[in-house]
A and B are shown apart, each in its own frame.
Chain A
Amino acid sequence: MTATVVRRILFPAALSLAAIGCFPAASGVSPGATTLRVALWAGGYELEIEQQVADRYEALRPGTRVLLESAPNGYEERLLTSIAAGHPPDVYLLDSPDIPTFVDRGLAVDLAPYQTALNFRADRIFPQVLEAFRRGRSLFALPKDFTPMVIYANRAVLAGAGIGGGAGAEADAWADGWTWEEFRRAARSATTDRDGDGRPDVYGFDFPRNLFQWVPFVWSAGGDILAPGGDRAAGYLDGPAALSAYAFLTELADEGLTPGAQFVQQADPGREARFASGGQAFLLSGHWTLPVFRDLVRAGALDLAILPIPHHASQPGATSVLYASGWAVPPNAANLRQAIDLAGFLASPEAQRIRARSGLAIPTRVDVAAEIAAADPTGVEDAFVALAERARMTWGATVRDFSRVERLAVEIMDRRLLIGEPLEVSAAEVARRVDEVLAR
């Protein structure tokens, strides 16, 4: 009996299951459809918005399916592995610090010849963003969005500290520029111990440990971290302007105007909550933080001001840093021309308008950004666009293996704060090691 059951029922069932497992699952797409795979790092609501963009493209190109392959964590690893394995996505999102890694290795198609076919108007793109994806006349990605690093100010905290005569009115005066000393005074006034336990309950700022955060302070002191060609650090990373920026930032920490640094690349997970709840007066961040605060601003629980990076007194103004991303196509994409077409759509004004709903970054089209800013009654978008005009692209967009430079550069201030090493010594030693990396 058992043998019969096995032979007549279980065995054929197992065989059928195995056979079913060997065939691909049926999808809702017609058999002749082309599937275009898009690699990106969106998550949550942002991914929903990107899906809306993909749906729109599918509606415009019947018979084409767009598959979003998102990896919010480990994106670069996944992308590089897929390219190395000969199975790249058709379109991928290229972050500005990754441009040399991909472009110098020939992993992105030159899209310049297709600008007319894609109706891509280069003259409508913020020029400093477009330039990051260009090499000569070639264009290796169609810009998606971007953000400058800015200072968010909590007006309520400033008013509570009596800065500018209440209501944080001083913040409006700083919108056109402010010096390090003004920033330090404001941070000092804001840092208070309300309950008298000897520990501040409100901080002025949080320590910008990573290079992507502090590089605008060096620029705003009239210096730089690398020579103009991006091939040398000595004399720049340890130059007078850079040293003055390190000294200014570490003094803020020494004075107790910032909570203790965590000495990791990941940002302090509590910093945004601390800022929004009135525990911190100033926050250094990009546009990506704005959606976190938007509901609070609408509910009247948070009064924001968007300010430029403070600058050294010797300088007329600040220069912030820009981070951008763009849509690139690998040369060995399975459907090259369709992939180029999709990249064109993903960077189009229509897609940028849909994407602007997520509010994570500024659209790269000047006209779309202006529309978004005009529709924003808080003036925050306008402020971001204005500050972007005075910002420059990260060195990572032009220097290969810049992640190694970033890893080394954090040591400069770490060593000062952790073991008390003079900044001149640590900066010179780090600059020497950076030069070794750049020479390879």
Chain B
Amino acid sequence: MSGAGATNAAGAAGVTPLVATGAAAAATAVILLVAADALSGAREQATREEARAAASLYEVPGVTEADVVSLLDGRARIVAPEAGGSGPGAFAYRAGALQPAAWIAVEPADEGNGWPWAAFVLALLGVLCMAAWAAARRRAPPPSRYPAAATLLCAALFALVAAAAQQWAHGELGAVSSARLARGLRAAGIAGAAGADPEAAARVAGLPWASGAALGEPDRIWTMPREAGEAIAADPQLRSAPRYTVVAGGATYHGGAVALREGPAGRAETPAGTLHLVFLGYEETSSPTVALIASAIGSALVVSLVLFLLPLAARPRALARTLAAWGFLAPAAALLLVFTFGPLLFSLWISLHDWRLVDPAHPFVGLENYRALLSDGGWWSAILNTGVFTLHVPAAMAVALALALLTRESRRAVRWARLALFLPSVTSVVAIAVVWKWLLNDGYGLANRALGAIGIGPVAWLTSPDVALVSLMVIGVWMVVGYQMVVFQAGLAAIPRVWYDAAKVDGAGPWQRFRHITLPGLRHTLFFVLVTSVIGSFQVFSLVYVMTEGGPLGATDVAVYHIYREAWEFLRFGNAAAMSWILFGVVFAATWLHFRLLERRGAHA
């Protein structure tokens, strides 16, 4: 080592604990900031909701400005509409008017306090541990297992910090939620006292769900989720309690009862009664759990990366090369993280919840979606159809290989033939599907016309449960054969010509040359085409969507189409996500099996 190199190494070794400590501290700060940001967002949201509730109350005939101000404990000012627009607040309107009558300015409530001491202490302890650990490594750095140990340490540290931050946020958000419920009930109470009907009172509270005295009345628009209504109706204590919490259908609701008085003359149809209102608990709407988990994982990755790079500080050139390499990889890695792994993990999260796109509540149901699929005959039928459809892959490969062998020459006619065969691979699947749908129409399709011309009766290509899937498989072969042929030609070109010449000299016939030279020479290509085609065939969607819609009688209902319908037609995203993961498992298993089988035969060497 040169003198300069030794100096660098010594300097780098000196800063290692410092940098490691700094990175760990910054990462823990990020986790705490995520929790604080979630809280701040919830408080801001609560203030906006207060303003909207006040504005709604203002609209109720019979409610005075003093009532509106008192609702927010004096934190509201009612000014002319021209003075609005700055700070939290909302325009207030007279009943049924479209032009604002006033601006209600709302000061944020001073609710929630305290610091996440547990998280701070944990973070501090963790950072100290990290510093000590990094210092110890400086004295005797083991070259192997260093990144793995660092990653594990970071993961443990940040998991603890995130858990402590979550505990803190839970308490604070609970306070915000509780205050919101209290104000909602009070707003509804004021509206009810002014003679508002149950629906108007529910709207004033700014609540998603409410019910009249008869819980679960089906003809009311402001109905609670059925499970919540049933739970409240079944419990006499809840029915009479002014405030309560109920867990139903996997979600937590905070609710309460408000007394309504009979509406004044003119609105006398409003009977006196009790209005039940429920909030969806903050746990399902604004819990920072996902954000905290994400920040903990991100922090662990970043800090372990820093720890991994620190030893390279002693070798500036190596560090520069490594950083440059990471720099080049970063855009693609970021894209993968954000658009592939992110959605992948999110779909896993969705699959554990009863997730419907527009429902505010996404109750955690654990593995219930997966369990339900076990007894879902339609889903397994779709998986079976997909498996049958996949059988077109070996047929397509055989045809493609034959075509590749036949079109190896470079004569003009052969080149045109290659182009014609390849065209379906670069044509829109939807366009292909539409054209084939016309060709295979029972009545006016060209296929049946052609058969008719030679005396064969019409075939129900797409309208017979026995034939439709086979028709799609044939179209599938036609679509992929051109692409596979090109890949096989590339593989064939890599087989040395002299092998064939030597075999000829040895007296080998065409079949023996194919059997003993071409096939072994193409083993990697065959494996690649097989695996990618099988995966592709498991994902078949457009053909089915355009041509058969999964019919007739579910004969062409394949897995991805089934998932699509579950998500977008029936809006059951939790089920659809669970199906996606099962499909992933099936594809993974199929691919793994291919690997194993080919490895066993020594083909994948």
Contacts and interface: CB of A to CB of B under 8 A. Distances in A.
A408 B199 CA distance: 35
B430 to A, nearest CB: 11
B358 interface: yes
A84 B553 contact: no
Contacts of A83: 358
Which of A115, A136, A265 neighbours the largest number of chain B CB atoms within 10 Å of its CB? Answer: A136
A104 B359 contact: no
B551 interface: yes
A229 B217 CA distance: 12
A229 B358 contact: no
A229 B199 CA distance: 22
B310 to A, nearest CB: 33
Given A136-B220, A401-B570, A266 B98 contact: no
Contacts of A15: none
Nearest to B99: A337
A403 B570 contact: yes
Nearest to B460: A260
B463 A261 contact: yes
B96 A113 contact: yes
A116 B221 contact: no
B172 interface: no
B219 A136 contact: yes
B398 interface: no
A81 interface: yes
B462 interface: yes
Nearest to A398: B219
Nearest to A117: B98
A129 B426 CA distance: 48
B569 A403 contact: yes
Contacts of A123: none
A104 B59 CA distance: 23
Interface string B37-75: 000000000000000000000010000000000000000
B444 A270 contact: yes
B95 interface: yes
Interface string A390-422: 000000000001011001000100110011000
A418 B59 CA distance: 60
Contacts of B547: 264
A262 B95 contact: no
A419 B568 contact: no
Given A105-B358, A229-B218, A264 B549 contact: yes
B601 to A, nearest CB: 43
Contacts of A263: 462-463, 548, 551-553
Which of B100, B208, B358, B568 neighbours the largest number of chain A CB atoms within 10 Å of its CB? Answer: B358
Given A107-B358, A263-B552, A404-B570, A340 B98 contact: yes
Given A403-B569, A418-B464, A265 B549 contact: yes
Nearest to A200: B443
Interface string A268-296: 00100000000000000000000000000
A91 B394 CA distance: 52
Interface string A85-120: 000000000000000010111110010011111100
Contacts of B220: 136
Contact of B549 (A110, A137, A266): A266
Nearest to B91: A337
A192 to B, nearest CB: 15
Contact of B443 (A103, A107, A259, A411): A259
B223 interface: yes
A419 B465 contact: yes
A57 to B, nearest CB: 14
A425 interface: no
Interface string A136-164: 11100000000000000000000000000
B103 interface: no
A337 B91 CA distance: 10
A84 B571 CA distance: 12
B221 A418 contact: no
B221 A104 contact: yes
B223 to A, nearest CB: 7
A374 interface: no
A411 B553 contact: yes
A77 interface: yes
Contact of A104 (B97, B100, B223): B223
A124 interface: no
Nearest to B546: A266
A104 to B, nearest CB: 7
Interface in B430-459: 441-444
A80 interface: yes
B221 A138 contact: yes
Interface string B82-116: 00000000010101111110000000000000000
A135 interface: yes
Contacts of A262: 441-442, 462-463
Contact of A415 (B97, B441, B444, B553): B553
A436 B463 CA distance: 28
Interface string A346-371: 00000000000000000000000000
Given A84-B358, A104-B223, A113-B96, 14 more contacts: A77-B568, A110-B199, A118-B98, A135-B219, A260-B442, A261-B463, A263-B462, A263-B553, A264-B549, A266-B549, A270-B443, A270-B444, A337-B98, A337-B100
9 contacts: A76-B568, A105-B359, A136-B219, A137-B199, A270-B441, A340-B98, A341-B98, A418-B552, A419-B553
Interface of B: 59, 91, 93, 95-100, 199, 203, 208, 218-223, 357-359, 441-444, 460, 462-465, 547-549, 551-553, 565, 568-571
Which 4 pairs across A and B sit closest by C-beta, in order of nearness? Answer: A263-B552, A260-B442, A113-B96, A135-B221
